[in-house]
Structure 1
């Protein structure tokens, strides 16, 4: 699924298009990353994404979340900070689902030509990371997001994430937004997938990192640049519409 930097960039674009500048930009940007807070809390992905990766029936994380937490379903009843946070949260859910359905499953998943292998998951992470590097190349936009995150008070009441955890998560997202694009971070971001692929020693990972250019070319042949650009536009439209419906 898209990395944090890409989620922030996508949410920022939607916020600018819809005029979401009510003084709670930091809460909004943090919300756009918050489903991945499970990296910090070590909880099941479904508890924050409301989407079962192993269920191949039609699902909607947005509808599942509102069903499980009806207190946040009506944006008009929320305080401004929580409303901004949940609005950002929706952009993440929609973008992730678009990636799962349109890119991961057909190109890397169990029913794809790569059959969901450990190698497939590494290639999936490589292409995601390249897309994030492109998104984070706008240093000014990332800097503005980092500053908004720092200013956020985070008096958010969503029912399933506490403020202390959100404050800890904020530190991680500020760090992501503040760092320049750098492939050296890939070993940290994809560590679990690299281990699953049998790369368990520093030497093995170092050798793997040297093959990144070749693997990128392999991945681009597997998933074209045009297909990825179409994903970005589809995910944008899907997320934008979810936000518009939520706030109307």
Structure 2
């Protein structure tokens, strides 16, 4: 038993009823910075004085017979840092059948958590890049779409746009689809769903950039655009928004972009709020 626990590749510790170490694996000593200490017979709480009450409660429950575990929990270190661990705890029994203490199995997953956090941040950045929302003014938002609008992207677009409408208390949201190559039943339905959700927040939706082929597709699909203002291009949409929401005068960059071709418009809209350098 002693050899098994000591040399198992997992982080394992066996403690008695007073939470004093009976056995510990090499991995346990390494993971918790105890390799240079003799821990057998010492209290777990002496080695980890900052362990939170929630963990102490887990130990008490296990000493009373409970088996518990978690896929991820924060573990505070004495230097103020916090690791993340996956763990399980079980009571162990003496030859007479009484609970002699607990056995802890843990795995430090801090690096995995950091990677997951990085991936989440990258996903959020990609989402914002795929659904860029440009504030034309406090009252007007512009969402220039480029590429295919599938159900997943539509859901992201809806959440992002709704958040911005609430955050800025916008009165008009312009959705420009000049850069959307084609409209099918799913993408059209998704756009209408987004528009209706925005209207429920009290903002007017303006759909711009509807090319003739897209217009024919919408009619052919029987998509109901009732309650949604449509304009041929972004410039017309901005003019409508300016008249609808007083004080929503467009910036020069947006005005210039709206008068350009489709490609220029998309690039300039994305850069409308970017700082400009002299010359």
- TM bucket normalised to smaller: under 0.3
Structure 1 or 2, whichever has the larger Rg, is: 2
Q: Which has the higher helix share?
A: 1
| Structure with greater contact order relative to length (CA < 8 Å, sep ≥ 6) | 1
Give me the TM-score of the superposition, normalised by structure 2.
0.24
Q: Which has the higher strand share?
A: 2
Give me the TM-score of the superposition, normalised by structure 1.
0.27
